[in-house]
Structure 1
């Protein structure tokens, strides 16, 4: 988890907003890929790669947030 602790919040937020949402028109790429996944149409290798590439910043941001919340709570 040191890897996650070493990534600044600002970098994760910027990566999520820019890499995670690019291209912005006609719709964010991550949204397009999630819709394809929900419809069962995510079968081409490039589409799966796109989902992983555009989704990674969001997953790291979520994991860092969960880690911060669990670390700040006193253990019993």
Structure 2
């Protein structure tokens, strides 16, 4: 699974997060609406949970890619 994540470029993941993660853009991004519903305790219908997962997955991919990049990068004073 991590090899599949590594094969996706960071640029592709960011573009997916911006377009798929925020769509539809009006009246507000879908992920934002679902996160507000989650915090308010009104995220109860299965379609709402599906939307949260669907629109949140690209953002999670970006976070995992950045975390793996940070772990793989050598530290400055590690000589």
Partner of 1:37: 38
The equivalent of 1:55 in structure 2 is 56
Distance across 1 between alignment mates of 2:11 and 2:72:
19
Find the aligned partners of 2:66 and 2:39 in 1 and give their Cα distance. Answer: 25
Q: Which portions of structure 1, spanning 4 or more consecutive aligned residues, are displaced by more than 4 angstroms?
A: none
- Spell out, residue by residue over 1:15-67, the C-alpha distance to the aligned partner (whole angstroms, 9 max, x if none): 00000000001000000000000011111000000000000000000000000
Unaligned runs of 5+ in 1: none
What is the alpha-carbon root mean square deviation over aligned residues?
1.1
Larger Rg over CA atoms: 2
After superposing the two structures, state which structure 1 stretch, 38-47 or 1-10, moved more: 1-10
Length, aligned pairs only: 75
- In 2, Cα distance between the equivalents of 1:30 and 1:36? 10
What is the TM-score with the length of structure 1 in the denominator? 0.93
Where do 1:1-76 residues align within 5 Å? 1-74=2-75
